[in-house]
Amino acid sequence: MGADRIFHNLFMYAAAADAGEVFETVEFSIAPNDYISDVQAKALSHIKSSSLRLVEACLSDSPIKLLAQPEEVSVHFPKISPKDGKLQPDRHTAEHAINIIRSASHPFSGAYIEGAAGKITVWRASLIDAANSKTIRVDFIDRPVFFIDYHMDETIADQET
């Protein structure tokens, strides 16, 4: 949440995690407005292009150069669960809230905020008001966040009508 770049590998499977030899590694940037689906699309694009190069090498009988996994400690991220998407306006900065929303967005279950009126699930938000009548403003500890793509539980939607 909040990283600005990522390294993506195409590697051979092995019995142990992160043990297979590497065919190709690329680094790509994560823009401040990228959501998890954007990062996944970049990874998928790398998988497709790298796989094509691997197939071409196999078909041409060219030697395939594989590199051993680095001996350094691998970076492991904890599994993200739906509860990690909880937004807490009284504890989070607006930037932290945006990062939670970006990382919990589609294809995951979304970030969410709960209150007396119910639950709002959020997939996209901005620090800038889009002046859209459907945008919801939520004040966090330092500034507002504007929910752009969201779903209100029936309890909240019923109160609005």
Domain extents for the chain? 5-59, 82-160
* Tens digits of residue pLDDT in 49-72: 988 888 888 888 878 888 887 776
pLDDT of residue 137: 92
* Tens digits of residue pLDDT in 108-136: 899 999 988 789 999 999 998 877 778 89
Average pLDDT over residues 17-34: 85
Q: Under a CB-based contact definition with an 8 Å cutoff, are residues 105 and 124 in contact?
A: yes
Q: What is the pTM of this model?
A: 0.73
Q: Under a CB-based contact definition with an 8 Å cutoff, are residues 140 and 158 in contact?
A: no
For β-strands 5-11 and 136-139, DSSP reports them as unpaired
Cα end-to-end distance, the chain, whole Å: 36
pLDDT of residue 11: 83
Q: What percent of the chain has pLDDT over 70?
A: 89
pLDDT of residue 75: 62
Select from 98, 75, 71 the least CA-distant residue to 85.
98
Average pLDDT over residues 138-151: 95
Confidence of residue 22 (pLDDT cuts 50, 70, 90): confident
CATH number of the structural domain 82-160 = 3.10.25.10
pLDDT of residue 76: 63
